[in-house]
Structure 1
Amino acid sequence: MKNILKIIRMTVGLWVLTALIYPVVILAVSQVAFASQGNGSVLRNSQGTVIGSVLIGQEFKSERYFSDRPSTINYSQDESAKPTGVSGASNLAPSNPDLLKRVQEDASRLQQKNTKPVADLIYTSGSGLDPHISTAAAQAQLNRVAQARNLQPGEIAALIDRYTERRFLGIFGEPGVNVLELNYALDSRP
């Protein structure tokens, strides 16, 4: 009986430590040290309305906006949206005819819009939620967006450069452009 009570005390103690104390400490640290990231890295417009998270890709259909990477999932963006989106890739093998058909259709659609079909614009990301595109993908869309907004390509090229996130520590990863931030900057222009 003595051992059973000892086991019960240890179990309750570990439960309190791992299920109560640890999460509260992590929440407190995230709110103090990483408030933006801890709250979802939301981007708000000038009226304070949330327009999205800079950590999650979003679908932009208008010619006035830069397109994100294609996704095999439906983004949670309308009134029927659930609080949490669904993530995941299609899991189609490179030899799958459905994947080849989708890639060819996307490439053809981009060519019809006079946009070079670079990899980021025809291949989905692993999670389906990647908010970044490569600088090459942004440059490929530059003329289409400039024409739709009646702007000079140089004006938009400056924004692409401004919103390009460089390599982490100068060596890790590839430069990328956060599409939501770039599109919001375009809308915020005077």
Structure 2
Amino acid sequence: MAVLTGLGIVAQAIFWLGFAGIAQMTGSILSTVLVREIAPVLVGIILLGRSGMLILTDLGNLTLQGQLRILNGQGIDPFIAFILPRSLAMTVSGFTLGMIFSVIALGTGYVVCWLKNIVTMPIWSFMFQVINSVHPTDYISIPLKFLLSGFAVGLSCCLSGMDITTEDNLTTLLPRGFSRGIMSVMAINVVLDMVF
């Protein structure tokens, strides 16, 4: 996904900004559009589709089979045993995947433009240009978006899986969990954009 984003967004931005004669704006546009806005949403969707749906079905099956009630009866808190570790793991995964995603997307776009002789500066100068154009508040908001998107996906999938009833099955559980996860990722990004 990062390679496709690099090809579709980064390479096109470098090409068209150079064509328009405003290549000096490349760093600020890429840091604003790709790293601050698009990457957190795509990372949240990747986490939701790859890991969140597995968490959702796993906890949904445990709830339907009554195993969570059994553990609760034995004094094991399902929040501490299931929700907390999965949500924390998704939080760390969101940040890590977000950083890797951003670097790969920027690097892929640069390499494509370098191969076509659209850009002649070295890659470290290109990356420095992007990093230099990041606003000081973005050094807080970008990592927060990655962290909170991962946490929200983990928490919403866990809670949706534990919220299942006997009338539910996978055809009703998965769309409900997916829509809750998407809404949480979008809400976090909108709120953080308004705050920062």
Task: Work out whether the TM-score is over 0.5.
Answer: no
**Larger Cα Rg: Structure 1 or Structure 2?**
1
By percentage of residues, which structure has more helix? Answer: 2
TM (norm. structure 1) is 0.25
By percentage of residues, which structure has more strand? Answer: 1
TM (norm. structure 2) is 0.24
